[in-house]
């Protein structure tokens, strides 16, 4: 399951491994992680050691066969796909997880039935707009669920700006509620539709 945290909070990326690798160096990598275009977030961590930079700490617990990457002060740039890696002759990327960051800035909209509304969302990996009480209900295995299927809902894409817009026409009172837009950077939207 993905790791879902708010902007400014800390997140732990947990990487279990086979005990035969306990003496091998481990690392955490974000995004594309082939050996050619690696984006390793930290120096590798070796058994029973801790490696630390400004916002990232890697810790290897060989007794439990788990190494953990802890990222503090989360920002939108931290959201994305993370790979756990063990260094053999080359790096073996063996497990990944998605880090979803919920931005602190929320959007409150009050409209009337029959109105139209446009909502701007961050476009990182995929377009997602979901109605649910919790953001985690909109994300399954790092993939956002577009739970709204209705002709009155449409997406327009401004890829060059990193933003997409959700357009809703002919609003109805039952569409009031909490929505989550964007992925892996998510914004909370309160929509109140009055009669």
CATH of residue 170's domain is 2.60.40.10
Residues 189 and 114 in one domain: yes
Q: Supply 72's token pair.
A: 């503090």
Average pLDDT over residues 8-16: 95
- Share the mean pLDDT of the chain: 83
Domain count, the chain: 2
| pTM for this prediction | 0.78
Distance separating alpha carbons of residues 41 and 48, to the nearest angstrom: 19
Residues 111 and 81 in one domain: no
Question: Given 85, 101, 117, which residue is the final one in a domain?
Answer: 101
Q: What is the pLDDT of residues 118-139, one digit of tens each?
A: 998 887 666 788 888 888 888 7
Average pLDDT over residues 31-60: 63
Q: Supply 82's token pair.
A: 């993370």
Residues 58 and 41 in one domain: yes
Q: State the number of CA atoms in the 13 A half-sphere of 48 facing the CB.
A: 2
Supply the range of the domain harboring residue 26: 3-101
**What are the DSSP calls for 134-179, one per residue?**
SGGGGEETTEE------TTEEEEEEGGGTEEEEEE-S--GGG-EEE
Q: Name the pLDDT band for 39 (thresholds 50, 70, 90).
A: very low
Residues 34 and 97 in one domain: yes
Residues 97 and 111 in one domain: no
């Amino acid at each position: 399951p993905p790791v879902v945290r708010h902007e400014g909070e800390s997140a732990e990326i947990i990487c279990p491994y086979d005990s035969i690798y306990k003496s091998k160096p481990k690392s955490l990598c974000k995004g594309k992680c082939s050996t050619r275009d690696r984006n390793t977030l930290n120096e590798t961590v070796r058994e029973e050691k801790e490696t630390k930079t400004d916002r990232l700490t890697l810790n290897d617990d060989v007794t439990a066969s788990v190494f953990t990457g802890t990222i503090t002060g989360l920002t939108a740039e931290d959201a994305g796909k993370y790979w756990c890696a063990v260094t053999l002759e080359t790096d073996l990327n063996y497990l990944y997880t998605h880090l979803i960051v919920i931005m602190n800035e929320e959007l409150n909209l009050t409209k009337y039935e029959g109105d139209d509304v446009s909502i701007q969302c961050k476009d990182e990996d995929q377009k997602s707009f979901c109605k649910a009480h919790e953001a985690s209900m909109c994300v399954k295995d790092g993939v956002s669920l577009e739970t709204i299927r209705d002709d009155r809902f449409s997406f327009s894409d401004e890829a060059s700006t990193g933003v997409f817009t959700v357009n809703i026409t002919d609003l109805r009172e039952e569409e009031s509620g909490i929505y989550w837009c964007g992925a892996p950077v998510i914004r909370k939207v309160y929509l109140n539709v009055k009669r």
